[in-house]
Amino acid sequence: MNKISYIQQQPLALKRPYPQKPLFSVILKRIFRAMLCFFFLAWAQDAAARQFHSTLYTVNEGLPVTYVFCIYQDHYGFIWAGTPNGLSRFDGRRFVNYDMSHGLPSLRVDCVFQDSRHRLWVGTRYGMAQLLGERFKVYSTNDGAVINFVSAIWETSEGEIWAHTDVGVYRFHDSSWIKLSLFPGYHDRHCRMAVETTSGLVLCYPDCIVLSRKDRSWKMIERKPFGDPYYNRLVQHGGKVYVNTRRSLYQVKEDGLVSIVNHANGVGHFNYFIDSQNRLWNTSKGQENVIRISTPWNWEQEQSSLPAVYGQVNGIMEDRSGNIWMATQHGLLKLQETSYREVFREQDSVVDITASATLLHTGNILLSDGRRYRLLDRGTLKTSLLPERGDLVDHVAYDKKNTTWMLTRNVLLLQYKDGRVEDHSNLLESFAPNYFNSCIYDSLHGKLLITLDSILVEGDETGFRKIPLPSKLVSGPMNMQLSQAGGGRNLLFIPQQGLFELMPDNSFRLLLSYPQREYVSIYSNAGMDGSIWMAVQGRGLKEYLFNEKGTLKLVDSVSRKEGLQGNLVTSMATDRKGRHWVQTPSGLDLLWKNEAGRWTVYNYSKARGLRSNSWDLGKVLADGDGLIWSSTLNNLLMIEAATVEMNIMPVSVVIEAIYAGADGRKLQALGTGGAGYFDLPNKPSLRYGDNTIKINFAGLAYTDNPDIKYSYKLEPIHANWTTGSNNESVTFVDLGAGSYTFSVRARDGAAPWSEVAQCSFQIMRPVWQEWWFITSILLFVAILGYRFYAFRMQQMKQLMAMRTRISRDLHDDIGATLSGIYLYSHLTHQQIRNSQQVEAEASLKTIQESSLEMADRLNDIVWVVNPDNDDLSKLMKRLKEYTVGIATVKQITTVMKLDTEVEKIKLSMLARKNIYLLFKEAINNAVKYSNCHSLHFMVGMQNKELEFVLEDDGEGFNEIEVIKGNGLNNMEKRAEEMGAELMINSGSGKGTTITLHLRIT
């Protein structure tokens, strides 16, 4: 961006430094000033002229085109610029451009307006449009007229939005523009603007000014003949109405127009603006291109004028910070009023002579670049009575004899007296100095104190003597620093020791112990409140005050963390308001105390757009009459400190967009009551899956090179504000259900924090946290628990029934068998006693068979009860062992097949017992009674049921003729007991097939 400071080249007011002077000398100087008052009257008038620092924004900074039609600042603080190539939004750092791809009906934008509902309206060469989010929406007119120009959009006191076009005036109503009839005969004419007054509505047509009274009557205030300069811009300010033509500015009254400003040479263009100081800005284009600025409240008296180097000025505006903005032919121009004057600039012939600037006791400035001296006397550079060869002055002191003592870089002791610079270096030859550290004037003894190398000396024009230092305080070459506190107290800082007071008897009293190995400078005269400042290399400033014991205590510190542009302080001075001016290699800062009593930093050089790569080569000085002087390698600034007010305007901060969900869906109100033209929804409710939230925000600052930091908090998660950072977005992940309020604030450098921008949203609870879902789950668990309980009870009943059956079987079968064994045992005993050998052997055989049968049944019961045998493969294996065992004896071929898909099916104990015993009995019958040659047993799955099939090729039987015995009845009972279906197919000579179907649950 292009930057120019408009400088009025006039003599400067050079002031005297702080030291007190004899009364007689002061009286003589005042008389001399009074005598010269007349001669400097013209200069004084020029000095009142204001200076402005300018910044020009063009396509290089992001504008879509250099030419700017109009300019506007909205309620948020954004600067809008209408151009022939679209619309631009500016936040002080970057431009956001809109064109027809964003919905603009035309690229040529002539006016911008934001209403009380924060809706943004633009007027283009093809009608009006409203910005919603990132797109413009165009509303139709009720008469279908083709609009080629919109001169103004504004809001009436009743909240209606009016648009003034080349084909008439329209009112926005219910998503369309309604044509208004304001003045008879002018229904389709161009009314450039209207303002509301106590008398009615003042209408500005190109050829007339009309008052439309509240009783619907009209009054022609002024009419111009065709061809005369047309009426252009109608403005209301301070309860008065003004209008301009191409050459003049008028006040509008009911009885006519009153001329205020008339520029006969402005034949082509005329524009005007009234700022917050009630100054009139007017620009003209014709034989002369100039921007004129009046004095406050007196528009006929010109205070300043600036060359209109940027061509035609199409619009003028003042932002909230007091900057003046102009829409010009060559770009967007920003003007900042300055409180300083650049004595020299790079294009002057005195480049590079300000490396050393020394304020003399006379109020003049002695300049040097190390090769030559120049004296700045009332704005004029002089070389007379000065040595031909110059040197850089590092330290200065003022005595009571109206002379200035100076110590130079090349170890020279100089004295400025009576307009001459005298060399007194020979007074120090006996000490063979290598370098000077500091000097002060001891007013109590009338002596000059100097630290050189590692010694301290005192003296005057007659000679110098060494002041002995205690041996424990001296350890080789040191950078000792002299300074003075209030009441003429002389201070000496000794590195790695501390700060001492030099007492009248030349003894030393410790004020502050400081053993650190750091380079330190002392600015004790910088504090009008008695404070002493210590500049620590690379660590900023520390402030100390005297305590009750007369020693020093640390009360505050200021560094880059608090807003200083750099931590290396090269010089420091105090103005009459007790504010401290601090110069670092990065620029000039101003320290002032806020309401809380803490030092606040204002980056003066940065805010004023002052740039230099040699701030570290100069110094800042304060004279006795309120001026601050700041030097760099090629410039010297004179700052009117009294006019520098610390009403630092905080930046604005705006929430621009909210995104939700992992996919980053942008939340928009879609014109249903969103927050301004960003179209942010009002406290949206988001589903739980959208609990990742990203928020974009922007700070608005119109200083040069703003350094905006943001601090935010998300309530109720954050109780305190986060540490400031430059990030302009923040993302929150995996937010829990609940209501949230996001707050963000911003600051530019060390300026105060802005007002807070907020947005609220709600994360809905997930389904599993809803009351109905929780109730359903509890009900389901209860039902499930009940079913499980019922199932367990059923199992226990079945188990009990099984146990009962087993007991019954044991009692019936085993008991009967045991009883038979007992009877046969008794019978066998009798038979043996009766020597019935054959009968006894038969009885013993019966006992043996009964015992084997009982053991077999016990084995079956034990196998059934064992839970390890619950799968189908184990059942199949046991049946196979049994079948092979009895079929082999009769040479019967057996085939047993188990499908792999049912091998691991688990069977209950009840099913296991009944299936096993059912088919054991069936196999036993087939082997013993069917006379079969082969036996097939297959197990598989059929229609989600277990299918057991036993086939033999024996004689079979007729089911109708055969009376069911115990075997068949037992088989049917076992099938019924486990809920299975039993089918027996048999016929004489056809074999037998037994099929069992069991449903698996």
Same domain, residue pair 730 and 788: no
- For residue 647, pLDDT beyond 70: no
Domain boundary among 865, 892, 914: 865
3-state secondary structure (DSSP) of residue 719: coil
Residue 156 counted as domain residue = no
Neighbours of 955 (CB within 10 A): 16
Domain boundary among 737, 765, 793: 765
pLDDT band at residue 600, thresholds of 50, 70 and 90?
confident
* Poorest-pLDDT segment among 56-65, 305-314, 414-423: 305-314
* Poorest-pLDDT segment among 8-17, 250-259, 273-282, 862-871: 8-17
DSSP 426-491: GGGGGG--S-EEEEEEETTTTEEEEEETTEEEEEETTEEEEEPPPGGG--SS---EEEEEGGGEEE
Neighbours of 96 (CB within 10 A): 14
Same domain, residue pair 874 and 983: yes
- For residue 47, pLDDT beyond 70: no
Percent share of the chain, pLDDT over 70: 87
pLDDT at 36: 33
Average pLDDT (2-17) is 40
Same domain, residue pair 742 and 778: no
Q: Please report, for residues 871, 910, 915, 978, the alpha-carbon distance to residue 858 in angstroms, rounded to integers and kept in the order given.
A: 21, 16, 17, 21
Residue 729 counted as domain residue = yes
Average pLDDT (807-821) is 67
Number of structural domains, the chain?
Answer: 3
pLDDT at 193: 96
- For residue 454, pLDDT beyond 70: yes
pLDDT at 728: 95
Residues with Cβ < 8 Å from 532, sequence gap 6 or more?
A: 483, 485, 491, 499, 522, 523, 524, 543, 544, 545, 552
Residue 905 counted as domain residue = yes
pLDDT at 593: 86
Q: What is the mean pLDDT of the chain?
A: 84
CB-CB contact of 270 with 281 (8 Å): no
For residues 364 and 580, what is the distance between their CA atoms, to the nearest angstrom?
A: 22
Q: What is the pLDDT of residues 760-769, one digit of tens each?
A: 999 998 888 7
Residue 890 counted as domain residue = yes
Which pTM value belongs to this model? 0.69
Average pLDDT (815-825) is 72
Residue 522 counted as domain residue = no
pLDDT at 963: 53
- Bigger pLDDT: 419 or 177? 177
For residues 970 and 972, what is the distance between their CA atoms, to the nearest angstrom?
A: 6
Same domain, residue pair 859 and 877: no
pLDDT at 288: 62
* Poorest-pLDDT segment among 65-74, 367-376, 880-889: 367-376
- For residue 42, pLDDT beyond 90: no
pLDDT at 554: 93
Neighbours of 962 (CB within 10 A): 11
Paired tokens of 964: 């069911």
Domain boundary among 848, 865, 882: 865
pLDDT band at residue 672, thresholds of 50, 70 and 90?
low
Average pLDDT (888-909) is 87
pLDDT at 525: 62
pLDDT at 35: 39
pLDDT at 344: 66
Residue written as tokens 């190539």? Answer: 85
Residue 222 counted as domain residue = no
pLDDT band at residue 428, thresholds of 50, 70 and 90?
very high
Residue 424 counted as domain residue = no
Residue 844 counted as domain residue = yes
The continuous run of DSSP H or E covering 60 comes out as: none
DSSP state of 769: G
Same domain, residue pair 843 and 887: no
Residues with Cβ < 8 Å from 20, sequence gap 6 or more?
A: none
Nearest to 395 by CA among 201, 583, 621: 621
For residues 244 and 262, what is the distance between their CA atoms, to the nearest angstrom?
A: 10
Same domain, residue pair 796 and 779: yes
Average pLDDT (246-253) is 88
Same domain, residue pair 787 and 829: yes
Q: What is the pLDDT of residues 502-548, one digit of tens each?
A: 998 889 999 999 888 888 888 876 556 788 999 998 899 999 999 88
Same domain, residue pair 854 and 801: yes
- For residue 220, pLDDT beyond 90: yes
Average pLDDT (88-116) is 96
Sheet containing 636-640, strands listed edge to edge, beginning at the edge strand earlier in sequence: 340-342, 636-640, 627-631, 620-622
For residues 16 and 441, what is the distance between their CA atoms, to the nearest angstrom?
A: 17
Q: What is the pLDDT of residues 158-210, one digit of tens each?
A: 999 999 999 999 999 989 999 999 999 999 999 999 999 999 999 999 999 99
Same domain, residue pair 957 and 857: no
For residues 153 and 147, what is the distance between their CA atoms, to the nearest angstrom?
A: 14
pLDDT at 535: 93
For residues 899 and 940, what is the distance between their CA atoms, to the nearest angstrom?
A: 5
The boundaries of the domain holding residue 657 are 652-765
CB-CB contact of 233 with 192 (8 Å): yes
The continuous run of DSSP H or E covering 132 comes out as: strand 127-132
Q: What is the pLDDT of residues 688-742, one digit of tens each?
A: 889 999 999 999 988 777 889 999 999 999 999 999 999 999 999 999 999 999 9
Average pLDDT (825-849) is 80
CB-CB contact of 229 with 245 (8 Å): yes
Same domain, residue pair 671 and 721: yes
Same domain, residue pair 852 and 785: yes
CB-CB contact of 359 with 629 (8 Å): yes
- For residue 20, pLDDT beyond 60: no
Same domain, residue pair 838 and 893: no
CATH label of the domain that carries residue 674: 2.60.40.10
